[in-house]
Structure 1
Amino acid sequence: MPNRSLAFDPAGFDSFSFVNIERTDETGEVVFHYRLNGPAPRDFAERIVFALPEDGDADWDSAASVLPLLGAVLGLSYYKAAAPPRYEIAVDGLAEPGVAFLRDAIHFGLGEFAYRAGLPGLLDVDITVSRPLARVDEPKEIAQDRINRPLVPLGGGKDSVVSVESMRYVGLDVTQFSVNPNVVMQRVASASGLPFVSARRILDPALFEANASGALNGHVPVTAMVSLIAVAQAKLLGLGPVVMSNESSAAEATMMWDGVPVNHQWSKSLDAEVLLASAIEAQTGERGGYFSLLRPFTELRIARKFAQTAGYDTSIVSCNRAFRISGAEPGWCGECAKCQFVFLAFSPFMSRERLMGIVGVDMFDNEDLIDGFRSLLGLGNHKPWECVGEEAESTVALSHAARSDDWREAAVVRALVADSPEIAQGDADIERALFEDRPAVAVPPLYEEARRALE
């Protein structure tokens, strides 16, 4: 029996194993079992409870193909407790592209974790597969009766609203989805009036015990995890592609570490999307089952699209700090880097009255936030460890504020323009480039039409 009574010493583990998958079809529950191996091994089990169709006709055969990849990626929450040099796949059915994705998810997706945990560098892990790999056949196209029925993960902010409304505009049959939905996600889903399903993710309490007694802890590639839960959920319900709302801006590194980029948003980047789509294709045998609708667009372009919507202003919240305050009604904290960036991104496209109605406070009038805005502009040591846009986007948005009757006299705007007077002049070439299409994977015609909606 693994010993849980001792203090957790990360150096006491030489490998990590993904050891088993248990499935209870009647309840929709899947349990993934893991082990940190060493003289005193530690076992962990994570549970996902999927939504089942009302008619009871769940397509477990299709969903099961995704589970080995899903389990391997979910395992990073437990692997990072010790970050040993070897990761063993001891379950059947993972295809080689899934192994490749896992390798990059550890190396790049745990990059922030490695840096902030004080590790020597990005993790280069020996991944061993002790069970048969899945055979990879020539993929087929998604069946026509499912291709126009996307499952769309919601985050509670502007991006997924733009995706949902763009797809609604062209007649796609959207089902919204969240993992462990909070009140904001539920509010946004309700505001759309479209179907909404959810899954539950239950982390092993033993992980929190380990964290409290010395385990390594930090950021994991959550977007990749949610993406794969969504793919399995879509398969269970007989739906079509999982359509994400990840933007091109997510590719910009948060910082450089000894000449290597470290990106808080790696699993939202185009590189991660291409790798994960390839891994999903190999697992499911279907092409085109995972992509981001908003990939060609910057955050500013998405903010402009959101400004064309109606009915969501009092529903969305783009603030992670709000959800960490126990017992509080989730809302905009008005202080964190994410709140600051979204306020900045909205400001060129909305009146002061509308923006204040969304966020509730005037962040441009809070002198305590000047240094935070400086970081967004690239005037600090590095970008914040948050899901924020490019430094160029922040600079362009601030240049608009500096020329706006609504904002030019605000304390933050005046201070930043005093630091860098050229900001007030703007740069037409840089701004133009931010509103041009950027590289993206090809999508079916109706989804490409949706990309052009709300312009």
Structure 2
Amino acid sequence: RGNQYKTIVESLSTSFQFIDYQFDTQTNTAQFRYRNKDIEFEECAEFETVADGYNAEALDKALFLAFILIGTSYYKTFPSQSVELGDHAIDAWQARFFNSVYQEGLSQFAFENNLTRENLTTFEPSGSADAAVDGYTAQDAKPLVLQSGGKDSLLLAELLKSKALNFSPWYLTNSDTHPRVLEGIEGELTLARRSLDRENLAKAKQQGGLDGHVPVTYIVLSIALIQAILAGKDTILTAIGHEGEEPYTYISDLPVMHQWAKTWKAEQQFAEYVKTYVAESIHVGSPLRRYSELKIAQLFVEQCWGRYGHEFSSCNIGNYKQGQANDTLTWCGNCAKCANSFLLFAPFVPPQQLADLFGGQNLFKKTSLTKTFKGLLEIDGIAKEFECVGERDELRLAYHMAHKKFDEYTLLFDVPESDFDHDREYPAQSWTERFI
């Protein structure tokens, strides 16, 4: 704690520097450079699909947005109360937007490192920002559809297919591979590769730098925005249901949230930023936003289980590690994400079928997961882990739905009943309705 406190005190007196960004047209690579204390970081994103005649002005505006959002990965090493943007002017709305990213978006990081909102940076308006590109026109009408190998994005792909809508599935990789399950999706898979500056992040850690969660969803969205513009597209579809709305706790007035960038408010803010500062005709949003996680699980079983049931995964322990191969997706059967998925699918999948995903294990019977399930269901005052998981009442309903259908679905402790309505429709951007 002493060394960590020393690191925090020292970093608060310095400024995080956004050095520059550029796009190399020879290699189709975006480069972003930052400086924190005496360490210079460089991150790259390489794009395979680039159309002739893409809108260079819109691209530059999207690169700037990604420049700021990606910066969270390097700012967090030595968090400071101020940042230096160089010659880049931002207006009051942009300042508020970036403050929400670097405060609400880093709330879990702050909580785990004993920081407060006051320890995090505040962006200040510095002038009038340039307006969005006027007259941005799509060359390719097919929406860019983000894919991960998880249930939500695969469901969205199947819903689009069922409506005979053409689309371009897109995957952001951090290795030389991508999940094989994505090859079964209709449409040519578009890839981009993100390369974090792991070497200098390790150097920062050796010098006492901090680590923690960043708003990854926003970072991925910003890179997807670059891809869409490079491909001449004007629609980006994500697969995010009604989730992430429950704070874990508070640091004074700062809600601590693992999934802040997945919330409805965050989606609205991102979409507004794009329309105001990038191109008014570019749409970004989730058609699944109107559904609860439990409803998405039900729809996935009904429409996707036969095709993807044994190839998809939502487990972050077994998959999706930086620089590791992600071609074959697995389930570890020991983490909160696996327990959460087991709860969500149990009402709709027979016990043996569901157990097959987890090496033949009925996760409800694993004593090593008792505390994890109690956390997800908020039993005995146990808090759920920082993970992308369902809401308490939603998961309690899922358990009772499953338990009433199958005796094998019985936990080792009592679970309160829930009146959660998993068929309820939540607010979503109206333009997304035509995709489902």
**Which residue in 1 is equivalent to 2:337?**
338
Q: Over residues 342-374 of structure 1, what are the superposed CA-to-partner deviations in whole Å (9 max), with x where a residue is unaligned?
A: 111001011223323334332122121111100
Q: Over residues 170-216 of structure 1, what are the superposed CA-to-partner deviations in whole Å (9 max), with x where a residue is unaligned?
A: 22221111211669953221121322112111122212211233101
**Which residue in 2 is equivalent to 1:36?**
36
Query: In 1, are the aligned partners of 2:95 and 2:123 still within 8 Å (CA)?
Result: yes
Match of 1:201 among 188, 191, 194: 194
2:310 aligned counterpart, secondary structure:
coil
**Which residue in 2 is equivalent to 1:135?**
130
Q: Over residues 22-67 of structure 1, what are the superposed CA-to-partner deviations in whole Å (9 max), with x where a residue is unaligned?
A: 2211211111111225xxx3222111112233x6555434322211
Query: How far has the Cα of 1:434 moved from its partner?
Result: 2.6
**Which residue in 2 is equivalent to 1:12?**
10
**Which residue in 2 is equivalent to 1:354?**
353
Specify whether residues 143 and 22 from structure 1 end up closer, same or farther in structure 2 by C-alpha distance, changes over 3 A only: closer
**Which residue in 1 is equivalent to 2:224?**
230
Partners of 1:438 and 1:11 lie apart in 2 by 43
> Which amino acid in the other structure matches residue 34 of structure 2?
Y
Query: In 2, are the aligned partners of 1:52 and 1:58 still within 8 Å (CA)?
Result: no
**Which residue in 1 is equivalent to 2:213?**
219
- Tell me whether 208-217 or 294-303 shows the greater mean CA deviation: 208-217
Partners of 1:123 and 1:170 lie apart in 2 by 49
Specify whether residues 120 and 103 from structure 1 end up closer, same or farther in structure 2 by C-alpha distance, changes over 3 A only: closer
Query: How far has the Cα of 1:387 moved from its partner?
Result: 0.3
In the alignment, is residue 389 of structure 1 matched against residue 386 of structure 2?
no
In the alignment, is residue 47 of structure 1 matched against residue 81 of structure 2?
no
Query: In 1, are the aligned partners of 2:372 and 2:384 still within 8 Å (CA)?
Result: no
In the alignment, is residue 305 of structure 1 matched against residue 325 of structure 2?
no
Partners of 1:301 and 1:236 lie apart in 2 by 34
Partners of 2:65 and 2:365 lie apart in 1 by 47
Partners of 1:330 and 1:182 lie apart in 2 by 14
- Equivalent runs, 1:60-209 vs 2, <5 Å: 60-92=56-88, 97-121=93-117, 123-128=119-124, 133-136=128-131, 143=137, 146=140, 148-180=141-173, 185-204=178-197, 205-209=199-203
Partners of 1:276 and 1:17 lie apart in 2 by 23
2:312 aligned counterpart, secondary structure:
coil
> Which amino acid in the other structure matches residue 225 of structure 1?
I
> Which amino acid in the other structure matches residue 322 of structure 1?
G
TM-score (ref. length: structure 1):
0.85
Query: How far has the Cα of 1:394 moved from its partner?
Result: 1.0
Query: In 2, are the aligned partners of 1:224 and 1:267 still within 8 Å (CA)?
Result: yes
Identical-residue share of aligned pairs (%):
28
Partners of 1:344 and 1:381 lie apart in 2 by 17
- Equivalent runs, 1:277-316 vs 2, <5 Å: 277-308=271-302, 309=304, 310-316=306-312
> Which amino acid in the other structure matches residue 217 of structure 1?
D
Specify whether residues 370 and 286 from structure 1 end up closer, same or farther in structure 2 by C-alpha distance, changes over 3 A only: same
Query: How far has the Cα of 1:98 moved from its partner?
Result: 3.5
- Equivalent runs, 1:400-419 vs 2, <5 Å: 400-408=401-409, 410=410, 413=411, 415-417=412-414
Specify whether residues 362 and 330 from structure 1 end up closer, same or farther in structure 2 by C-alpha distance, changes over 3 A only: same
Gaps of 5+ in 2: 1-5
- Tell me whether 254-263 or 373-382 shows the greater mean CA deviation: 254-263
Query: In 2, are the aligned partners of 1:254 and 1:261 still within 8 Å (CA)?
Result: yes
Q: CA RMSD in A?
A: 2.6
**Which residue in 2 is equivalent to 1:23?**
23
- Tell me whether 43-52 or 331-340 shows the greater mean CA deviation: 43-52
Specify whether residues 192 and 89 from structure 1 end up closer, same or farther in structure 2 by C-alpha distance, changes over 3 A only: same
- Tell me whether 316-325 or 304-313 shows the greater mean CA deviation: 316-325
Partners of 1:72 and 1:92 lie apart in 2 by 11
1:194 aligned counterpart, secondary structure:
coil
In the alignment, is residue 273 of structure 1 matched against residue 271 of structure 2?
no
Specify whether residues 95 and 237 from structure 1 end up closer, same or farther in structure 2 by C-alpha distance, changes over 3 A only: farther
Query: How far has the Cα of 1:388 moved from its partner?
Result: 0.2
- Tell me whether 181-190 or 149-158 shows the greater mean CA deviation: 181-190
Query: In 1, are the aligned partners of 2:58 and 2:133 still within 8 Å (CA)?
Result: no
Q: Over residues 198-248 of structure 1, what are the superposed CA-to-partner deviations in whole Å (9 max), with x where a residue is unaligned?
A: 211112221221123310110000000000000110100012311111111
**Which residue in 1 is equivalent to 2:3?**
none
**Which residue in 2 is equivalent to 1:3?**
none
> Which amino acid in the other structure matches residue 345 of structure 2?
F
TM-score (ref. length: structure 2):
0.89
> Which amino acid in the other structure matches residue 129 of structure 2?
A
Query: How far has the Cα of 1:164 moved from its partner?
Result: 1.1
